[in-house]
Amino acid sequence: MEFEVTVARKTDVLVVGGGCAGLAAAICAARHGAKVLLAEAGSCLGGMGTAGLVGPFMTCYDPAGERQVIKGIYDEFVRRMAARKGAIPPEDCHAGDSYCGYRIPGHDHCASFSAESFKAVAEDLCEEAGVELLYGALFLRAVMNEAGDIITGAVFATKMGLIQIDARQVIDCTGDGDVAAASGAPFLYGDDAGLTQPSSLFFTIRGVDKAKLEKLRTETGRSESIFFQKEIMQEMEEGRYHVPRNKVAIYECPDGTFRVNMSRVQMHNGLDPFEVTRATVAARRQIPEIMDLLRRIVPGCEQIELVQTASVLGQRETRRIEGDFVLTGEDLRHSRHFEDDVFIAGNSIDMHGGNSVNYQPAKGAAYGVPYRILLPAKVKNLLVAGRAASMDREALAAIRVMPPVFAMGQAAGTAAAMCIAENTEPAQVDIGTLRDLLRADDVVLE
Ligand SMILES: Cc1cc2nc3c(=O)[nH]c(=O)nc-3n(C[C@H](O)[C@H](O)[C@H](O)COP(=O)(O)OP(=O)(O)OC[C@H]3O[C@@H](n4cnc5c(N)ncnc54)[C@H](O)[C@@H]3O)c2cc1C
């Protein structure tokens, strides 16, 4: 049965998905002169950073923690949030402090923020740039040209039925590569056996006695004393704790509440809505057990209360497009740079699996992230920014965090606006001009 589809808008650039990548892409494309529509399935911007309650913003500094290397729209965003007391800027968050989850390697200069401030700043910046927002619009289908290599429109499920948005350039920021997959671009999913990193449902708590918690750190002289790894392993062995994550992971927010990243569920297919629903319910059911554990074993957490659980399960990994170029963990480890770098980063490889994390702290100089990871094969007028860009699992485990994702969005949005102005395709964009525009917009490239 064919459903009736109404063409609701024609736009230059259609951005699908309003997480960090999507909002950055939309704002930057609009600032560079394109008419932009940003379509989002939910009812707020920010994706994982808001509906997912994920935070803090991971580091935007080089591996030595000496130089801020991710700036541009990310930096502007954090400073707008900080001005309304919704964020602690990166220079004021230090390795080992509560804002960085008491973590040291790879965690210098994270930035703590509140999800509510994120939502408000994102909507303000979109409005100021002239981005048209469309909430409650779930992307379903790509409308292709006859040759099947150009997207002419996208169909969304809405309360008004199916609507179509026609566009000249499309940027897939769904995190899951939904548009890329629907338009026939090749993609990969998980490891060789199709297994992905586990998922977690964030929640926030109040009532942490920080002084008591930090006394322990001072007494032992070890930041890791706050992770209670040995105690949790023992609780697991003795059958008192069943959540498959063996470390305390709590991060202070600007308002004194803490986010908790300790639930963990493994899915086979993070795109199957029935499985995602079951996993979300299972993760939410872990929360009382985690709260109980914290109250029992962590000094300073005896009186904690639950504030909120995330409304969306945090999936670390689903689809990755298979572009002509694939950024690898090796590229990051060797601090490689490319002629088409659109930003540089110093984020560590943070690979979750089983009940633990394989964390490889970034070392040496910052590495480059090239424009080509945003280009899917086969579809000529599509860019993919964020979690689904073209990279192997190790590179994904590093640059899936929010500051690099903002930077990917900035590059994609700027390139899409160039395509509109010059009537060209993303793969034909002049890299020198793109890099000049990014540099002028405060992006660090060297
Ligand atoms: C458990 C966990 C812990 C993490 N910890 C940190 C951390 O401490 N610090 C950090 O910086 N990063 C962290 N990250 C990583 C980071 O939060 C995400 O990788 C990043 O935010 C992804 O951004 P995105 O814009 O690519 O996707 P998302 O934030 O997922 O945004 C995608 C948006 O697209 C929308 N969407 C999806 N499909 C459709 C569709 N078909 N139609 C319309 N809209 C659609 C979604 O509703 C969403 O708003 C963590 C991630 C997870 C899962």
- Domain limits of the chain? 5-92+108-194+317-440, 203-309
Across 439-445, average pLDDT: 98
For residues 202 and 310, is the Cβ–Cβ distance under 8 A?
Answer: yes
Cα-Cα end-to-end distance for the chain: 54
pLDDT in tens, 147-159: 999 999 999 999 9
- Separation of alpha carbons 60 and 144, rounded Å: 38
Taking CA atoms only, the protein residue closest to ligand 1 atom 38 is 174
CA 49 to centroid of ligand 1, rounded, Å: 7
Give the residue, out of 402, 406, 408, 410, with the most ligand 1 atoms within 8 A of its beta carbon, to mutate for a pocket test: 402
pLDDT at 442 over 90: yes
Please give the pLDDT value at position 444. Answer: 98
Q: What burial class does residue 201 get, using C-beta atoms within 10 Å of its C-beta: 0-12 exposed, 13-18 middle, 19+ buried?
A: buried
Residues 6+ apart with CB under 8 A from 207: 301, 303, 304, 305
For residues 25 and 15, is the Cβ–Cβ distance under 8 A?
Answer: yes
pLDDT at 316 over 90: yes
Taking CA atoms only, the protein residue closest to ligand 1 atom 26 is 386
CA 163 to centroid of ligand 1, rounded, Å: 25
Band (pLDDT 50/70/90 cuts) for residue 376 is very high
Please give the pLDDT value at position 220. Answer: 79
pLDDT at 383 over 70: yes
Confirm or reject CATH 3.10.450.50 for domain 5-92+108-194+317-440, answering yes or no.
no
pLDDT at 322 over 70: yes
Question: In this predicted structure, which of 84-88, 94-98, 129-133, 355-359 has the lowest mean pLDDT?
Answer: 355-359
Q: What burial class does residue 146 get, using C-beta atoms within 10 Å of its C-beta: 0-12 exposed, 13-18 middle, 19+ buried?
A: exposed
pTM of the model: 0.98
DSSP string computed for 295-310: HHHSTT-TT-EEEEE-
Band (pLDDT 50/70/90 cuts) for residue 354 is confident
Burial 329-362 (b: 16+ CB within 10 A, else e): bebbbebebbebbbbbbbbbbbbbeeeebeebeb
Band (pLDDT 50/70/90 cuts) for residue 353 is confident
For residues 391 and 191, is the Cβ–Cβ distance under 8 A?
Answer: no
CA 20 to centroid of ligand 1, rounded, Å: 7
Helix (H) or strand (E) holding 431: helix 431-440
pLDDT in tens, 272-286: 999 999 999 999 999
Band (pLDDT 50/70/90 cuts) for residue 370 is very high
Please give the pLDDT value at position 312. Answer: 98
- Mean pLDDT computed over every residue of the chain: 96
Please give the pLDDT value at position 1. Answer: 61
CA 48 to centroid of ligand 1, rounded, Å: 4
pLDDT in tens, 61-74: 999 999 999 999 99
- Separation of alpha carbons 400 and 60, rounded Å: 13
Collapsed DSSP state (helix, strand, coil) of residue 218: helix
pLDDT at 223 over 80: no
- Separation of alpha carbons 444 and 446, rounded Å: 6
Which residues does ligand 1 sit against, CB inside 6 Å? 16-22, 39-42, 47-49, 54-58, 138-139, 173-176, 178, 200, 261, 314-316, 386-387, 400-402, 405
Can you give the length of the chain in residues? 446
CA 19 to centroid of ligand 1, rounded, Å: 6
Please give the pLDDT value at position 225. Answer: 81
pLDDT in tens, 233-289: 999 999 999 999 999 999 999 999 999 999 999 999 999 999 999 999 999 999 999
